[in-house]
């Protein structure tokens, strides 16, 4: 028998009778055909001789599934685990499932003997014997808060590094420091950084440059005395586009030797790319037509993956496709339209990966969550609308907002790479070739365009107090860092000295933004005592929306009637609470209840998942004491005093997101003095109250506040006067 990396393994032949082993042996044949298989020896040798490997290779060449298996039996790896990070949970879960099959081992916690598991927000599926762990970047950062030097791992693999989320940039910085300080770990830590479309040279230079910032979490006694508060501007970390930085940090011989490169040539199957001849003014209509063209023209089997901007557009197209599909004659295969976006429950997301019934073509309508890493079995055709929703920090408001933007060449290549994984594929780009040429090469790193509060809190909680000197791959704007520090100070997560407070540490351990974490901690104060209610609302805020969309006036009226019992005068937060608690209290038919109230059953399932996990985490953090109503549903608080307490808790986390009513009837934000309208989806839409608090700022044709409740200005005085002494 052969081991995970294909070498001979001495085992009894009875094992090959086991269905898991049979599958393993079958999959081994296809693994051997992957382009990366030829590079197995080179990759293993690279890490025997170096600490860091930057690995590039085309989409589908086998990086995410094979590299951890190649390394597992290496002598330096035997006593530790391998962590492999993914930008999104859907990729972490599907890759873990696939690799468990390839290794012939049960998945995660299903068996104590399982070798492969995953860990994503609100779901840890590992066992004590897990050796390969797929996890989201955020989860690895969370683990670092508990174990700064990642002692349980021999190797950390950062996959899809080109996505450059803030979390990846933090991990790269921490890993760079860790590799330089491995003496403290006992055994060395190896790092692999991989992608199909990353800027390999920049990454190599980043790791080669001597790290002058020591890692205070590891070696406090060795802190570099030259780093004082008035350190020169030039020594503030960062790399790309920063010539002055290069002048300060020069590679040393030893650090240059620890990094090596490897490139995997070729992909397993070809993918043909087609463009539009002329620009489309109506992308919805063009997408609809192209999907039907492919469906009617192309033989089966061959599923379709369509990349769109967001949940609303996806649901719109799903409805249209399903309507048109009813008119298809029986000579054509049936259509099964499946949405895929982050706010869907895990179970709904996993449906996409199941094979379609016979004579049925799957049409998957996805946001960019399926853009990297995932293999959707059956997909032969990719339709790319060329657009994505991206988070963008709006300085004036001090808030992140979502904007629809053209994707980069790197994203387009990743999307194309979702075809051609199990056979030759085709990619239909719904834009012209000239438009493709005008795209940016790479997406702008998130660190340059997002609110950095979570990142700064993570750094501080991990011991990197001097955030201005953190080794960033790309230097974030100083202004954004200062804004984040100020926000954390307002939340009470930092002391006046800039050090993390006890409260800040508690917030950092919750898998939430600092604002939401602050809300929960406020709710746990004895005088507030409303953690369960607040968890219910926070769970709702973790999905895009629980309310089904209303596209016409008639449907809007119907929705108002259906949701009448749930609507609360104060606005969205308490209405969400009423919805969750009524749903939880429904004992007979929850699906029916959701339909009756025009609420998404799928979203509610997801909310219930998050609610359960958050409750467990709050108990663990002693923010919630186990009591007798545990697990039972309680009815939404009706007395005004309790409702006020809940809203005050939210205000504690969102005091920057407040707008007051002006004499002309508009709302103006306290921060930035910008006009903002209540979003039509809000229960407060059309109402005039003295002030509003909102969770989200949305910019479409104008500035909207979403997730809105009425608040009193005098409550704000309490928040601002608060001494953060929780």
Ligand X SMILES: Nc1ncnc2c1ncn2[C@@H]1O[C@H](COP(=O)(O)OP(=O)(O)OP(=O)(O)O)[C@@H](O)[C@H]1O
List the beta strands (DSSP E) in 150-255.
153-158, 190-195
User: How near is the Cβ of 196 to ligand X at its closest, in Å?
Assistant: 4
Closest distance between ligand X and the C-beta of residue 472, in Å?
Answer: 25
Member of 190, 421, 563, 597 binding ligand X (CB under 6 A): 421
Give the tokens for residue 702. 């104008």
Q: Which is nearer to ligand X, 158 or 456 (CB)?
A: 158
Choose, by CB under 6 A, the member of 5, 40, 56, 64 that binds ligand X.
64
Q: Residue 59 or residue 345: which is nearer to ligand X going by CB? A: 59
Tell me which of 85, 127, 375, 682 binds ligand X, using CB under 6 A: 375
Helix (H, G, I), strand (E, B) or coil at 543: coil
Selected from 57, 117, 471, 492, the binder of ligand X by CB under 6 A is: 57
Q: Which residues contact 157 (CB under 8 A, 6 or more apart)?
A: 67, 68, 82, 83, 84, 85, 191, 192, 193, 194
**Tokens at residue 64, please?**
């995410």
Cα separations in angstroms, 444 against 163, 395, 409, 439, 441: 9, 17, 12, 12, 9
678 binds ligand X (CB under 6 A): no
Find the DSSP H helices in 542-669.
553-562, 572-585, 590-596, 601-620, 640-653
**Residues contacting residue 78 through CB under 8 Å, at least 6 positions apart:** 154
User: Which part of the chain contacts ligand X (CB under 6 A), choosing from 69-77, 130-138, 208-216, 372-380?
Assistant: 372-380
Q: What is the 3-state secondary structure (H, E, C) of 234-301?
A: HHCCCCCCCHHHHHHCCECHHHHHCEEEEEECCCCCCEEEEEECCCCCCHHHHHHHHHHHHHHHCCCC
* Footprint (CB under 6 A) of ligand X, residues 2-41: 34
Contact 98, 374 (CB under 8 A): no
Residue 553: partners with Cβ closer than 8 Å, 6 or more residues away:
none
Among 188, 301, 377, 477, binds ligand X (CB under 6 A): 377
Minimum Å gap between C-beta 62 and ligand X is: 4
Rounded to a whole number of angstroms, the minimum distance from the CB of residue 669 to ligand X is 41
Closest to ligand X by CB, 65 vs 260, is: 65
Task: Please report how close the Cβ of residue 469 comes to ligand X at its closest, in angstroms.
Answer: 33
The answer to the question of residue 65 lying near ligand X (CB under 6 A) is yes
**Which residue in 4, 5, 40, 61 binds ligand X (CB under 6 A)?**
61
d(CA 447, CA 452): 7
Stretch that binds ligand X, among 58-66, 303-311, 405-413, 655-663 (CB under 6 A): 58-66
Would you say 62 or 216 has its CB closer to ligand X?
62
Euclidean distance between CA atoms 168 and 161, whole angstroms? 7
Closest contact distance (angstroms) between CB of 34 and ligand X is 6
Q: Does 373 help bind ligand X (rule: CB under 6 A)?
A: yes
Q: How is the beta sheet containing 334-340 ordered, strand by strand?
A: 271-276, 425-432, 379-384, 303-307, 360-366, 334-340
Q: Which stretch binds ligand X (CB under 6 A): 52-60, 123-131, 177-185, 231-239?
A: 52-60
In the numeric block, the tokens 């890490």 are attached to 47
Q: Of 5, 40, 59, 408, which one interacts with ligand X (CB under 6 A)?
A: 59
When asked if residue 386 is in the footprint of ligand X (CB under 6 A), the reply is no
Considering the complex, state which of residue 203 and residue 539 has its C-beta at the smaller distance from ligand X: 203
User: Two tokens at 180?
Assistant: 């330089």
What count of other Cβ atoms lies within 10 Å of the Cβ of residue 424? 12
Question: 652, 573 in Cβ contact below 8 A?
Answer: no
Residue 63 within binding range of ligand X, rule CB under 6 A? yes
Taking CB under 6 A as the rule, which mask of x and - marks residues 257-276 in contact with ligand X?
-----------x--------
The residue among 271 and 692 lying less far from ligand X, judged by its C-beta, is: 271
302 binds ligand X (CB under 6 A): no
**What count of residues does the chain have?**
726
Provide, rounded to whole angstroms, the least separation between the CB of residue 204 and ligand X: 19
| Residue 42 buriedness (CB in 10 A; 0-12 / 13-18 / 19+) | middle
In the complex, the smallest distance separating the C-beta of residue 58 from ligand X, rounded to whole angstroms, is: 7
CB of 498 to ligand X, least distance (A): 39
Q: Which residues within the stretch 192-251 sit at the binding site for ligand X (CB under 6 A)?
A: 196
Among positions 422, 586, 644, 722, the unique one binding ligand X when judged by CB under 6 A: 422
Indicate whether 62 belongs to the interface with ligand X (CB under 6 A).
yes
Phi, psi values for residue 439, rounded to 5°: -70, 155
In the shown chain, the binding pattern of residues 159 to 198 toward ligand X, with x for contact by CB under 6 A and - for none, equals: -------------------------------------x--
Q: 447: how many CB neighbours lie within 10 A of its CB?
A: 24
Nearer Cβ to ligand X, position 421 or 602? 421
The single residue among 40, 85, 86, 94 that binds ligand X, judged by CB under 6 A, is 94
- Tokens (6 digits) for 212: 């002058």
SS3 564: coil
Which 3-state string (H, E, C) describes 298-310?
CCCCCEEEEECCC
Q: How many residues bind ligand X (CB under 6 A)?
A: 21
The binder of ligand X chosen from 40, 51, 60, 77 (CB under 6 A): 60
Q: Which range binds ligand X by CB under 6 A, 62-70, 506-514, 600-608, 617-625?
A: 62-70
Residue 385 Cβ, how far from ligand X at the closest point, in Å?
19
Would you count residue 127 as binding ligand X (CB under 6 A)? no
In whole angstroms, how close is the CB of 342 to ligand X at the nearest point? 18
* Residues 287, 597: Cα–Cα separation, whole Å: 31
Residues in contact with ligand X, shown as a per-residue x/- string from 532 to 571 under the rule CB under 6 A: ----------------------------------------
Among residues 293, 291, 315, 316, the alpha carbon closest in space to that of 304 is found at: 291
SS3 168: helix
Contact call for residues 59 and 36 (beta carbons, < 8 A) = no
Could you say which DSSP state residue 440 is in?
-
Nearer to ligand X, 418 or 469 (CB): 418
In whole angstroms, what is the distance from residue 37 CA to residue 117 CA?
Answer: 23
Under a CB-based contact definition with an 8 Å cutoff, are residues 91 and 157 in contact? no
Which residues of the shown chain bind ligand X in the complex (CB under 6 A)? 34, 57, 59-66, 94, 98, 196, 268, 372-373, 375, 377, 417, 421-422
């Amino acid at each position: 028998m052969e081991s995970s990396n294909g070498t001979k393994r001495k085992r009894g032949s009875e094992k090959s009778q086991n269905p898991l082993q049979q599958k393993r042996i079958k999959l081994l044949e296809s693994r051997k055909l992957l382009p990366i298989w030829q590079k197995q020896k080179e990759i293993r040798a690279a890490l025997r001789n170096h600490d860091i490997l930057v690995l590039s290779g085309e989409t589908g060449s086998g990086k995410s599934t094979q590299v951890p298996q190649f390394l597992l039996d290496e002598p330096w790896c035997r006593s530790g685990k391998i962590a492999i990070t993914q930008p999104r949970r859907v990729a972490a879960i599907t890759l873990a499932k696939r690799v468990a099959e390839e290794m012939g081992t049960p998945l995660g916690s299903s068996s104590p003997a399982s070798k492969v598991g995953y860990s994503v927000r609100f779901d840890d599926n590992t066992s004590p014997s897990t050796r390969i762990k797929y996890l989201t970047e955020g989860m690895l950062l969370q683990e670092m808060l508990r174990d700064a030097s990642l002692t349980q791992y021999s190797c950390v693999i950062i996959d899809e590094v080109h996505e450059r989320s803030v979390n990846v940039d933090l991990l790269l910085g921490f890993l760079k420091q860790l590799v330089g300080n491995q003496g403290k770990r006992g055994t060395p830590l190896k790092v692999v950084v991989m992608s199909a479309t990353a800027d390999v040279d920049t990454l190599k230079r980043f790791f080669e440059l001597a790290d002058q910032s020591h890692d205070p979490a590891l070696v406090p006694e060795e802190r570099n005395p030259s780093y004082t508060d008035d350190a020169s501007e030039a020594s503030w970390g960062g790399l790309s586009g920063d010539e002055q930085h290069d002048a300060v940090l020069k590679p040393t011989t030893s650090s240059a030797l620890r990094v090596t490169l490897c490139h995997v040539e070729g992909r397993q199957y070809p993918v043909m790319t087609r463009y539009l001849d002329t620009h489309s003014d109506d992308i919805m209509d063009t997408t609809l037509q192209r999907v039907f063209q492919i469906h009617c023209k192309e033989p089966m089997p061959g599923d379709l993956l369509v990349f769109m901007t967001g949940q609303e557009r996806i649901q719109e197209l799903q409805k249209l496709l399903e309507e048109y599909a009813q008119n298809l004659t029986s000579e054509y295969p049936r259509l099964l339209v499946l949405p895929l976006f982050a706010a869907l429950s895990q179970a709904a997301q996993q449906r996409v990966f199941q094979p379609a019934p016979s004579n049925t073509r799957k049409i998957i309508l996805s946001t960019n969550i399926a853009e990297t890493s995932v293999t959707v079995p059956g997909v032969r055709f990719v339709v790319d609308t060329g657009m994505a929703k991206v988070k963008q920090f709006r300085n004036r408001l001090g808030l992140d907002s979502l904007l629809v933007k053209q994707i980069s060449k790197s994203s387009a290549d990743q999307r194309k790479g979702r075809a051609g994984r199990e056979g030759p594929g085709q990619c239909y780009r719904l834009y012209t070739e000239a438009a493709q040429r005008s795209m940016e090469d790479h997406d702008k790193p998130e660190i340059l365009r997002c609110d950095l509060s979570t990142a700064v809190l993570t750094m501080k909680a991990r011991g990197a107090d001097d955030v201005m000197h953190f080794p960033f791959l790309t230097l974030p704007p100083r202004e954004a860092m200062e804004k984040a520090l100020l926000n954390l100070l307002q939340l009470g997560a930092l002391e006046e000295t800039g050090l993390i407070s006890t409260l800040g540490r508690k917030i950092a351990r919750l898998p939430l933004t600092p604002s939401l974490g602050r809300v929960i901690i406020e709710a746990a104060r004895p005088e507030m005592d409303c953690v369960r209610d607040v968890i219910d609302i926070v769970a709702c805020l973790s999905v895009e929306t629980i309310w089904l969309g209303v596209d016409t006036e008639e449907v809007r009226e119907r929705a108002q009637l259906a949701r009448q019992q749930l609507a609360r005068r104060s606005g969205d937060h308490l209405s969400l609470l009423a919805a969750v608690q009524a749903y939880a209290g429904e004992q007979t038919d929850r699906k029916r209840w959701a339909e009756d109230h025009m609420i998404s059953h799928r979203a509610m399932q997801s909310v219930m998942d998050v609610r359960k996990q958050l409750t467990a985490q709050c108990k663990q953090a002693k923010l919630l004491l186990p009591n007798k109503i545990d697990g039972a549903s309680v009815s939404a608080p009706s007395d005004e005093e309790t409702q006020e307490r809940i809203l005050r808790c939210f205000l504690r986390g969102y005091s920057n997101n407040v707008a007051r009513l002006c004499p002309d009837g508009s709302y103006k934000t306290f921060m930035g003095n910008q006009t903002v309208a209540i979003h039509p989806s809000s229960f407060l839409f059309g109402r005039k109250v003295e002030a509003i608090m909102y969770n989200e700022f949305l910019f479409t044709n104008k500035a909207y506040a979403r997730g809105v409740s009425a608040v009193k200005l005098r409550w704000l005085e309490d928040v601002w006067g608060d001494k953060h002494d929780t």
